[in-house]
Structures are given as structure tokens and as C-alpha cells.
């Protein structure tokens, strides 16, 4: 048997049993996550250093959110995720870490006081978006972009309720937003109104104020 055939067989032959692991992750998430309402999910790079501006800003945002009555959810790892959990925990809020099992990924950070672990990305992503009243998108990489565009797509297509999607650090996101406006909008692959789904923000207090104004808790 070729290596490729082995991989294909491994992906398909166990599907009927794999469903039970998928269900177990759903059940655990559905059991735990309602208790963290209202929660704001914060995304960003796992590579952000504790001495970086991004890390410090994330800590500040998480503290402010807790002070305004929100809990904080992150991916449970290092960098921005650690900063989000640290800021929320130190402010006395529920600090949720939804960790993913990856072969070469970081360990869960120590600051989450509510922790779930996932094998499947799509179940983890479901928990992020189902139980969030807002998204804050810090500077990040492919994973951060994935979460951002999933939220924009679901809101655009009315698959979920519209909630605040805030991109922090306009300097970081400027190139992407310019491309969206100058290419996607120009080519009419999106509508002008789609640009209203997200907001560019630089000040942590402004970001929290936007969420506080739009979310009733």
C-alpha cells in the first residue's frame, strides 16, 4: 500500500467512530461555555512577546472588559492569547482558554481559569463564535485572519447575529483594509455596506466603549 493510500484510508475508515469524539467536544463546550456569558473573544498572534506593545495592549483591553462586566475568551496559548487570559484573570474575571492540540504548538498558558481542550478546529471555532458578544482582533497571522474572515462571512450572510468586530492597531491592518477597499470593493465582490461589519480602532478604551454601547448585558 502506498503512503498516499494509507493516508486516505486513515482519513475515511474511522469516520463513523470519529463522530463520537466530535460529539464529546461539542457536549463539553455546550456544557461549560454558557456560564461565561457575556464573553468577548480576543484573537492574535501566538508569537507576540510579553514585552511587545501588542501584548501589553491586549492585557489592558482584557482588564477593561472585565471591569465593564465582560468575561474574556482566547485560544489558550501564548502571545496575545496569554495576554488576554492574564489581563482577565488578574482583573477577577472568567478567563477562558480554548486550547487546540497541535503537533508543534505551544502549551496552554497558565492564566486561563476556565480551560477546554480541542482536537478539532471547527468545534473550537464554533465555541469562539457561538458564545461571543464581540470579537477583538489583535495583530496576528493566518489563524487570526481565519477567525476574522469567518466572523465577517457569517455576519455578512446573516448566519449569526451581528456583533462588534474590532481590529486593533490600524497601522497593522491598513494594508489589508486598503486592499479590500481598492480591490474587492472596486471589483464589486463585496458591497459598500460590508465595510460596516468591522471597525478599526487604536485605543483600548474606545474598543471597550464600542462593545459596551452595542451589547446589552
The Cα–Cα gap between 177 and 70 comes to: 28
The Cα–Cα gap between 141 and 14 comes to: 32
The mean of the pLDDT values for the chain is 93
Please name which of 66, 62, 77, 81 lies closest in space to residue 139, comparing C-alpha atoms: 81
pLDDT digits (tens, 9 = 90+) for 9-22: 455 557 778 889 99
Please name which of 165, 91, 157, 102 lies closest in space to residue 128, comparing C-alpha atoms: 165
Domain extent at residue 92: 3-214
Residue 3 has pLDDT above 50, yes or no: no
CATH of the domain at 94: 3.40.50.450
Query: Do the Cβ atoms of 71 and 88 come closer than 8 Å?
Result: yes
Q: Among 11-15, 124-128, 175-179, where is mean pLDDT lowest? A: 11-15
Count of domains in the chain? 1
Residue 1 has pLDDT above 90, yes or no: no
Residue 108 has pLDDT above 80, yes or no: yes
Mean pLDDT of 156-171: 97
Percentage of the chain exceeding pLDDT 70? 92
The Cα–Cα gap between 60 and 143 comes to: 22
Mean pLDDT of 44-66: 97
Please name which of 170, 171, 151, 169 lies closest in space to residue 161, comparing C-alpha atoms: 151
Amino acid at each position: 500500500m502506498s503512503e498516499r493510500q494509507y493516508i486516505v484510508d486513515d482519513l475515511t475508515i474511522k469516520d463513523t467512530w470519529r463522530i463520537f469524539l466530535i460529539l464529546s467536544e461539542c457536549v463539553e463546550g455546550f456544557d461549560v461555555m454558557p456560564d461565561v456569558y457575556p464573553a468577548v473573544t480576543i484573537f492574535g498572534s501566538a508569537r507576540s512577546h510579553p514585552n511587545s506593545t501588542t501584548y501589553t495592549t491586549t492585557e489592558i483591553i482584557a482588564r477593561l472588559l472585565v471591569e465593564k462586566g465582560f468575561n474574556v475568551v482566547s485560544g489558550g496559548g501564548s502571545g496575545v492569547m496569554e495576554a488576554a487570559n492574564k489581563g482577565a484573570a488578574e482583573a477577577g474575571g472568567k478567563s477562558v482558554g480554548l486550547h487546540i492540540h497541535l503537533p508543534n504548538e505551544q502549551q496552554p498558558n497558565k492564566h486561563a481559569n476556565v480551560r477546554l481542550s480541542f482536537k478539532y478546529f471547527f468545534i473550537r471555532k464554533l465555541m469562539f463564535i457561538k458564545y461571543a458578544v464581540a470579537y477583538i482582533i489583535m495583530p496576528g497571522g493566518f489563524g487570526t485572519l481565519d477567525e476574522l474572515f469567518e466572523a465577517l462571512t457569517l455576519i455578512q450572510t446573516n448566519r449569526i447575529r451581528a456583533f462588534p468586530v474590532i481590529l486593533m492597531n490600524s497601522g497593522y491592518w491598513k494594508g489589508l483594509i486598503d486592499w479590500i477597499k481598492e480591490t474587492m470593493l472596486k471589483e464589486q465582490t463585496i458591497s459598500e455596506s460590508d465595510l460596516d461589519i468591522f471597525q478599526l480602532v487604536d485605543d483600548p478604551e474606545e474598543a471597550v466603549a464600542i462593545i459596551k454601547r452595542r451589547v446589552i448585558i
